Amino acid sequence: MGKERGVTAVKPIKITDTTLRDAHQSLWATRMRTEDMLPILEEIDEAGYFSLEVWGGATFDVCLRFLGEDPWERLREIKRRVHKTPLQMLLRAQSLVGYQHYPDDVVREFVSLSVKNGIDIIRIFDALNDVRNMVVPMEAAKKAGAHVQASVVYTMSPVHTIDHYLETATALAELGADSICIKDMAGLLTPFRAYELVSLLKKKLGIMIHLHSHYIGGMAVGAYLKAAEAGVDVIDTASVPLAFGASQPPVETVVRAFQDSDYDSGLNLRNLFHIANYFEALRKSRGFERGITRISDMRVFEHQVPGGMISNLVSQLEEQRALDRIHDVLNEIPKVRAELGYPPLVTPTSQIVGTQAVLNVLSGARYKLVPGEVKAYVRGLYGRPPASINHDIQKKIIGNEKPLFERPADNLEPGMEKAKRDSLGLARSPEDIMSFAIFPQIAKKFFEERKNGIIPNSEIKTAASAVKETKAAKEIWTTG
Amino acid sequence: MGKERGVTAVKPIKITDTTLRDAHQSLWATRMRTEDMLPILEEIDEAGYFSLEVWGGATFDVCLRFLGEDPWERLREIKRRVHKTPLQMLLRAQSLVGYQHYPDDVVREFVSLSVKNGIDIIRIFDALNDVRNMVVPMEAAKKAGAHVQASVVYTMSPVHTIDHYLETATALAELGADSICIKDMAGLLTPFRAYELVSLLKKKLGIMIHLHSHYIGGMAVGAYLKAAEAGVDVIDTASVPLAFGASQPPVETVVRAFQDSDYDSGLNLRNLFHIANYFEALRKSRGFERGITRISDMRVFEHQVPGGMISNLVSQLEEQRALDRIHDVLNEIPKVRAELGYPPLVTPTSQIVGTQAVLNVLSGARYKLVPGEVKAYVRGLYGRPPASINHDIQKKIIGNEKPLFERPADNLEPGMEKAKRDSLGLARSPEDIMSFAIFPQIAKKFFEERKNGIIPNSEIKTAASAVKETKAAKEIWTTG
Ligand SMILES: [Co+2]
Ligand SMILES: [Co+2]
């Protein structure tokens, strides 16, 4: 094969490394510390990656809440060591790196500060594929000079047709996206579906397409192969000690798989193994598990509930001493999801659907107990659901109240002035004010501990306790 | 996609289940017992597999040597419960299920008894792809009425070109093979190479092509995809609790991956999960590990040494308190392999090359110590190496002695009469005599214990002790 094949043009596949963000978020409860990252950064920078996803998602929250680390400082420390490869972050659209929608002034300022501190590429997604929630962050990213990567979240439902993705992606391209990401957070994208979707997107939009998949049930390498044949530009992988299972496919496999083809990435396996050795030593020293595929992960093919979400459901049920109801909950989830208009199961809608399903099963009466975030969802405070919410269920939850028709953030008061005021005497920088604007209590505690010099910077959690701690804090019930 | 695609004809992929042979040989040191298999057989029989690989390889030896089980009785018990799906075995050509070449009369009788006891499909391979070693077993299988599946062992070297495989496969087809198996025991076959190889074989031979790959570094699902597009007929998988790592890819992934395509297998995921639950419970009850991909497994892409072989090298070195030399040994293996004419690393040549490499490193002088099986290999007693053996090395090992030019078994005296004589009073059946003909000492011990009623039929080994025991017995140093 190789260059003499001649049927297709030589088109090396580009690769993004997620080891420092999504991989440890998916496998290690986001517990990699800045000090763990720094020694290997120069080597990763030399490897030839398209970009390094190192920031955003749950990392911001976990830095402040559990690691006693300033997330902005982490970003600057990384930037200081990475000179060749663009740094990438994941942004939850109007929710930024949090779990609710923030006012536009906070969104604009956050994006501006992210770029100022070192981010080159901003991947933006909205859990409902509600394009209105992506307008302001995209504008802000564009203005700050970043590469704007707009995502379509991939899921399966009667309304998530190929046309839905094409229309959404077209709208995002028209909003000025520099590239489109297909975000397959549950590893549901089959290889032949990937081929179809990427082909159509390339044909219709002609811009760079980036495929983000999770290993989970094991289809991602196949999806990447067929996506490459359809013209995908970039794919996401992780170093093997942080690959597989709930994380991304291993870079080493993908690099080798493409070596016999016109898509050869050009990355060097020897270098990649050297990097992998570093992370394997780190993994062992912390007692973190590898990514593995259990039957429960495979079952995503049946019920579409990602493995990470299942383990959170298990924790919730254990707390209630009701683990024997797990199968009832797994059967309830698709019903709740349908009734709520088929939201994709990604942060924060995975929590919304999951919590309601648990309550429906445990309370013995469906929608008898409805938590605040489900009410907020039905009120339209997260945006427009992909399909209509079941009328009876809606009535049960919010009565005759009319759901919000506008973009949720249109109803929010500006937040920066208040954050500045309330963080006075604690915040030392615009970045501190921003941390406070997003997570006021957590940031306040962090600032106070920092002032008193009791930041637990050297306290290394064991894997088991870290994972347990994260599950207990329902705000970090992240999927994606 | 699906049936309306129209570009290619609908061609469902057929699937062979290896759970009861290769999968537990690769992951559990071949320690699944007959009693573990029986309760789930009817369900597996209903699943819609093309065939079930349940016998041969290392299972015969391990039954007699470690499990106190009669391998023939296992086969009959399986056959009694499987009515729809053909039973398949792996035969090491003239080495049958052992580690040396046996005389033709033993080969013919073994094949005849295998079919008589329930085997429908015989997969035959020679470690050196020396077709001469496959003639007698193929003839015997044909005569016994079995489906004759002849294998080409896949490896990488300057002489293992696409033409080498085409020529070998053509010769096997001319010998009457009903199908050709591409046997990729180290998971080295890249997806695009698989496409090329299968396309050419289908075009040239027009007969059924079966692809057997191991997961190891993670390319197998991709290889299966591209092989399907090239027209492969059957692929090998295992139930998820016994898949991944050194074993086959999981059937669940493959079934799901093809569902969106013209290659949809038609197998039902719900049924497959039900079967997987059975094996997961078995796995846990025995304390056996899952298949996982470590960096050491990934390195197969660099040095081509399969993970199973590495763990055996590690054991050998640990015994010698020389584990720190593992990297020297891994660097030595490709040199030894080249000097010995590039044998594929599969039973028994993986042991031949591995042992010599260890001795070369530990003795401090290359080929100063040469074990008997390496001498036998150089003398031609395993057949013709793929390339010439290095002249100086050959001289060092066997001096001016001329290597065998003929087929190794041409020089062997018939063995059945002697086996009958020597097993008199112990053997109760033609099958017993055959067990004795292949493994005289082990069979004798088994017969005596059976007579005295001290067969350890209920003794369940723990996973760790079983694996250790197997590694200590160098004869079960199996790869493939
Ligand atoms: Co993700
Ligand atoms: Co095998």
Query: For A335-385, what is each residue's pLDDT tens digit?
Result: 999 999 999 998 889 999 999 999 999 999 999 999 999 999 999 999 999
The answer, yes or no, to whether residue A311 has pLDDT greater than 90, is no
Q: Where are the domains of chain B?
A: 12-286, 295-410
Mean pLDDT check: name the lowest of A40-54, A93-107, A300-314, B15-29: A300-314
Provide the percentage of residues in chain B whose pLDDT is more than 90: 84
Cα separation of A46 and A92, whole Å?
29
Nearest to B218 among A250, A292, A301 (CB): A250
Query: By CA distance, what is A194's nearest residue in B?
Result: B260
Q: Which of B171, B283, B142, B293 is nearest to B220 (CA)?
A: B293
Band (pLDDT 50/70/90 cuts) for residue B458 is very low
- Count of CB pairs separated by less than 8 Å, A with B: 124
Closest CB from A217, A221, A240 relative to B295: A240
- CB contacts of A1 in chain B (<8 Å) are 192-193, 196
Least CB–CB distance from A256: residue in B196, B219, B270: B219
3-state secondary structure B395-431: HHHHCCCCCCCCCHHHHCCCCHHHHHHHCCCCCCCHH
The CATH number of the structural domain formed by B295-410 is 1.10.472.90
The minimum CA-CA distance between A419 and chain B, rounded to whole Å, is 47
Q: Binning pLDDT at 50, 70 and 90, where does residue B307 land? A: low
In the predicted model, what is the mean pLDDT of residues A245-274?
Answer: 96
User: What is the rounded average pLDDT of the residues A102-106?
Assistant: 98
Confidence of residue A429 (pLDDT cuts 50, 70, 90): very high
Subunit contact A191:B280, Cβ cutoff 8 A? no
- The average pLDDT across A122-140 equals 98
- Distance of CA B243 from the midpoint of ligand 2 (Å): 12
Query: The domain B12-286: what is its CATH number?
Result: 3.20.20.70
**Whole-number average pLDDT of chain A:** 92
Structure confidence by residue, pLDDT tens digits, A192-231: 999 999 999 999 999 999 999 999 999 999 999 999 999 9
Chain B closest CA to A226's CA: distance in Å? 9
Helices (H), B251-404: 251-259, 269-286, 295-298, 300-303, 307-319, 326-339, 349-363, 372-378, 391-398
- Shortest alpha-carbon distance between residue B297 and chain A (Å): 10
Spell out which chain B residues touch chain A, with contact meaning CB-CB distance below 8 angstroms.
1, 190-193, 196, 217-219, 221-222, 225-226, 240-241, 244, 249-250, 252-253, 256-261, 269-270, 273, 276-277, 280, 290, 292-295, 298-299, 301-302
Cα B470 to its chain centre, rounded Å, is 16
Ligand of minimum distance to the alpha carbon of B211 = 2
In angstroms, the separation between the Cα of residue B331 and the nearest Cα of chain A is 14
How far, in Å, CA of B108 to CA of B140, rounded? 5
| Residue B309 confidence (pLDDT) | 81
Q: Is the pLDDT of residue A474 over 50?
A: no
Which ipTM did the prediction report?
0.92
Q: Inform me whether the pLDDT recorded for B472 exceeds 50.
A: no
A293 → closest Cβ in B192, B219, B244:
B244
Place of tokens 């970045």: A431
Cα of A105 vs centre of ligand 1, distance in Å, is 27
Task: Tell me if B190 and A225 make a contact (CB, 8 A cut-off).
Answer: no
Instruction: Give dist(CA A474, CA B58) in Å, integer.
Output: 50
Q: Is the pLDDT of residue A6 over 80?
A: no
pLDDT digits (tens, 9 = 90+) for B162-180: 999 999 999 999 999 999 9
CA B182 to CA B187: how far, in whole Å? 11
How far apart are the CA of B187 and the centre of ligand 2, in A? 9
Q: Is the pLDDT of residue B416 over 80?
A: yes
3-class secondary-structure state, position A124: strand
Percent of chain A whose pLDDT exceeds 70: 92
Predicted pLDDT at B474:
44
Half-sphere exposure (CA, 13 Å, Cβ side) for A109?
A: 21
Structure confidence by residue, pLDDT tens digits, B112-158: 999 999 999 999 999 999 999 999 999 999 999 999 999 999 999 99
**What's the confidence (pLDDT) of residue A459?**
47
The pLDDT value given to residue A8: 53
What confidence category does residue A2 fall into, taking pLDDT thresholds of 50, 70 and 90?
very low
Q: What is the pLDDT of residues A51-103, one digit of tens each?
A: 999 999 999 999 999 999 999 999 999 999 999 999 999 999 999 999 999 99
- pLDDT band, residue B469 (cuts 50/70/90): low
From ligand 1's centre to the CA of A246, what distance in Å?
Answer: 9
Q: Do B192 and A294 touch (CB under 8 A)?
A: no
Rounded to an integer, the average pLDDT of B254-262 is: 95
Interface test with A, best of B301, B326, B330, B331 (most A CBs within 10 A): B301
Mean pLDDT of chain B: 92
A313-316, Cβ contacts within 8 angstroms, sequence gap of 24 or more:
A313/A354, A313/A357, A313/A358, A315/A468, A315/A471, A315/A472, A316/A354, A316/A355, A316/A358
